[in-house]
Amino acid sequence: MNAIIPDYVTPDAETAAILAKARAGQRLTPDEALILAVAAPLHEWCGAAMTARLARHGRNAYYVHNVHINFTNVCVNACRFCAFFKAKGAAGARTLSVADIVAALDARGDAPIREIHVVGGLNPELPLEYYLDMLRAIGQARPDAGIKAFTAVEVAHLADTRGVSEYDILGALADAGLMMLPGGGAEVFAPALREKLCPEKISGERWLQIHATAHGMGLPTNATMLFGHIENWADRIAHLSALRDLQDLTGGFTCFIPLAYQPANNALGAKGPDGVTVLRLMAVSRLFLDNIPHLKAYWAMLGIKAAQMALWAGADDFDGTIVEERIGHAAGADSPKGLTLPELRQAIEAAGMVPVERTPDFRPLT
């Protein structure tokens, strides 16, 4: 039996030495992180991540009163893992007008929303002016909220269709009210995997370069990694390593979000991560990404129960109310589509953490 199932309970000498380094808060090399991620006993590994989390954030678990708006599901990229996109004219294809978006926000009444999270497909029929009008209209409708909008993939699409630089696009979006970029579109950076997962999408290099440009302009951004499909631990560590290297240069990433792959209704057909992989990845993210302040347990993709456990493996953020999550749910996520503020706080408290409301860029409100 031991020949098949590795002994995850007693670390060997090499693993024990790297664990001691992690516990002492020393920077791990990619090779060391890989060894720990696959070989360290889970309780030791999560314990080290928990120590790092407590040192940075105590028992705080941040959350945000937010709304997700997906303004179009029409997309020319056809990523194999995505169940959200539709081809132009296909059944279920939908694009919101700016007036629709304002109406959806008005429908929330006087709820004190702090974050509007806006992402959509690459719909070639939407000009840059639509994006700028949308930002201005959201800003007018919700002056107290910050707008976190448009992935690097959308920024590249706008730059390419408009024939201008990404710097120009980001500048125009910022002038119209953009506060920060969300972390989507990173998937897994390894080119060979991208070829299988999302061959039409921008490269990992371009994704990183757009975030670097945003950071240089003073726009903070988040970062994601889609995990639990066809990637392995070496791919995951290489992805984290690219993020850490950029963060050493710019300091512009606010939060890292491991996105648990949801397997239904798409062309990829892989399985999705198990619970132990979720905990191992959370722990390695907290310990390896020593320069990115926040780590999100994104309940919409993880499910509430795994997200609560992730708070004990290094995560310090629980995202927000969301109201209607569409991307994960199109692919079969069995979490709720949204949570009320009391439900969100209760989930955090039941996990033994202290809920702290925050802004999109993680300024605490309570």
Q: Which residues bind ligand V47 (CB under 6 A)?
A: 81-83, 182-185, 187, 222, 224, 226, 257, 259, 261-262, 266, 298, 301, 319, 327-328, 331
What is the spatial distance between Cα 323 and Cα 16, in angstroms, rounded to a whole number? 44
**Structure-block tokens of residue 167:** 């710097």
Sign of CA dihedral 320, 70, 149, 283: positive
Q: What is the nearest approach in angstroms of ligand V47 to the Cβ of residue 27?
A: 25
Q: What is the nearest approach in angstroms of ligand V47 to the Cβ of residue 48?
A: 25
What is the spatial distance between Cα 126 and Cα 131, in angstroms, rounded to a whole number? 8
3-state secondary structure 196-260: HHCCCCCCHHHHHHHHHHHHHCCCCEEEEEEECCCCCHHHHHHHHHHHHHHHHHHCCEEEEEEEE
In the bound state with ligand V47, the residue whose beta carbon lies nearer, of 131 and 298, is: 298
Angle, alpha carbons 122-126-129 (nearest 5°): 125
SS3 128: helix
Looking up tokens 């090779």 gives 31
Q: What is the nearest approach in angstroms of ligand V47 to the Cβ of residue 3?
A: 35
Phi, psi (5° rounding) for residue 224? -125, 170
In the bound state with ligand V47, the residue whose beta carbon lies nearer, of 23 and 206, is: 206
Q: What is the nearest approach in angstroms of ligand V47 to the Cβ of residue 22?
A: 26
The residue sitting closest to ligand V47, measured at its beta carbon, is 184
In the bound state with ligand V47, the residue whose beta carbon lies nearer, of 133 and 361, is: 361
Q: What is the nearest approach in angstroms of ligand V47 to the Cβ of residue 51?
A: 25
In the bound state with ligand V47, the residue whose beta carbon lies nearer, of 107 and 267, is: 267
In the bound state with ligand V47, the residue whose beta carbon lies nearer, of 18 and 226, is: 226
